[in-house]
Amino acid sequence: MTLETISENRSFGGVQGVYRHSSEATGTRMTFAAYLPPAAAAGPVPVLWYLSGLTCTHENAMTKAGAQEHAAREGIALIFPDTSPRGEDVADDEAFDLGQGAGFYVNATETPWAPHFRMWDYITAELPAVVFDRFSLRRDAQGITGHSMGGHGALTIAMTMPETYRSLSAFAPIANPSESDWGRKQFAAYLGNDAAAWGGHDATLLMREKGYPGDLLVDQGSSDQFLDLLRPQALAEAMAARRQPSVMRMQEGYDHSYFFVQTFMGDHVRWHAERLRD
């Protein structure tokens, strides 16, 4: 697969790059960012996948999260995928929370989304094949995190594929989308009206059903303007009922912005690095 280099910049002794490739999963050109720490020059390093939220691209966390300095210190690579397929022939919607920029990390089955909106396959299979072929990364040391819609993606993917993702965290995840307008609307559009098809993409339901074999870290701002849509209390109750090893922190006064993410990014990178080291 041909990988086009859009840019590469020196950052904290490592390299922050942006790349583009043709995706079979989405049938489009896809762009992603990758940060390689200085340690990658000496051999394969652990990798942390960061999934972004609604309206975002690969660029939001790359430029706003302040993750590179922490990743360089801990010797861990970062991958920032896009949040959806894009292009003139890709279905879209006037609403910001559906269509391009709002893939919800599912494989759509419904018209007009099904031909391109296959973000589950893209994130869990196709993009990993691309990055492991190109960069010096350890397949046996992968962690996953994300913010908002991306936190939803990180939780659901890791609980479904725990053998792949050895560490897990989330920032203000959409925690119970089956019971939220950030979920019911999108799942009905992408997956159809049968709610039974939604369960595999709801972190709270997956926590009740199977949990995660390791521990997990979740940070949530107490002043988040979207608390009613995120439903962190549902996830907390499911974790408590399951006795899931976890750290779930309500951060006083923080909202949903990247100022919140940036503040606690160092904690999350360290969390993953500690669990991905041999």
Catalytic positions: 148, 224, 256
User: In 219-250, which positions are buried (b, 16+ CB within 10 angstroms) versus exposed (e)?
Assistant: bbbeebebbebbbbebbbebbeeeebebebee
**What CA–CA distance (Å, rounded) separates 93 from 8?**
33
Contact of 175 with 198, CB cutoff 8 Å: no
**What value, to the nearest 5°, has the Cα angle with vertex 215 and ends 131 and 68?**
40
**What CA–CA distance (Å, rounded) separates 82 from 32?**
6
**What CA–CA distance (Å, rounded) separates 209 from 104?**
21
Terminus-to-terminus CA distance in the chain, angstroms? 31
**What CA–CA distance (Å, rounded) separates 80 from 265?**
14
